[in-house]
Amino acid sequence: MSDNVFKRILVGVDDSEDSLLALKYAIHTAKEDGSELIIASILEDDDMNVFEALSKDYVHGERKDLEKHVLEYKKLAEDAGVPNVTAVVDEGAPGETIIKKIIPAVHPDLLVIGSEARKGVKRHFGSQAAYMAKYADISVMIFR
């Protein structure tokens, strides 16, 4: 391995086509380089209406579903031959949560994300990807 190999790769997933491309790239690169792979997904609190946000049962159920889904991605990476895979789920605005909470917690040296969000008004503006590219203190690769 050369010195320019990323040792810890963080990939953000949300089921959009772009994030699935990012995941495939991150899995391939982690396997080839023997890197650790961290797969993260964020439960977006702005996707919930007031009543849903106030219902702990609703939020808990949504989070459980997301955790299960991210564990499926983890298994996909492990089955592809990535030796060290971690799954992370958090809540909030995706860009801010990844930049302010997840990156400081897991210390990756590369962030891999899709350019468009899965849903929401902002999905075509790429605001989350732009935010992360602007504020991340590590290398960022954005897939379209």
How confident is the model at residue 46, as a pLDDT? 55
In a domain, 3, yes or no: no
In a domain, 23, yes or no: yes
Strands (E), the chain: 8-12, 36-43, 85-91, 110-114, 139-143
In a domain, 1, yes or no: no
pTM of the model: 0.84
Residue 86 domain boundaries: 8-143
In a domain, 91, yes or no: yes
How confident is the model at residue 38, as a pLDDT? 98
In a domain, 15, yes or no: yes
- Report the mean per-residue pLDDT for the chain: 84
In a domain, 2, yes or no: no
In a domain, 75, yes or no: yes
How confident is the model at residue 45, as a pLDDT? 64
How confident is the model at residue 126, as a pLDDT? 57
Structure tokens at 113: 């994300």
pLDDT single digits (tens) 2-22: 567 899 999 999 988 999 999
How many folded domains does the chain comprise?
1
pLDDT single digits (tens) 125-143: 457 899 999 999 999 999 9
Is 35 in contact with 83 (CB distance < 8 Å)? no
In a domain, 136, yes or no: yes
Is 139 in contact with 109 (CB distance < 8 Å)? yes
Q: Are strands 139-143 and 110-114 parallel, antiparallel or unpaired?
A: parallel
Determine the average pLDDT of the residues in 107-128.
Answer: 73
Whole-Å CA distances, 138 to 32, 115, 116, 125: 20, 17, 20, 22
**CATH code for the domain of 110:** 3.40.50.620
Torsion angle, CA of 99/102/107/109, rounded to 10 degrees?
Answer: -50
- The residue that leads in pLDDT, 77 or 126, is 77
**Local confidence band at 119 (pLDDT 50, 70, 90 cut-offs):** low
Q: Which of 100-104, 114-118, 138-142 has the lowest mean pLDDT?
A: 114-118
pLDDT single digits (tens) 21-61: 999 999 999 999 999 999 999 988 655 444 444 444 444 45
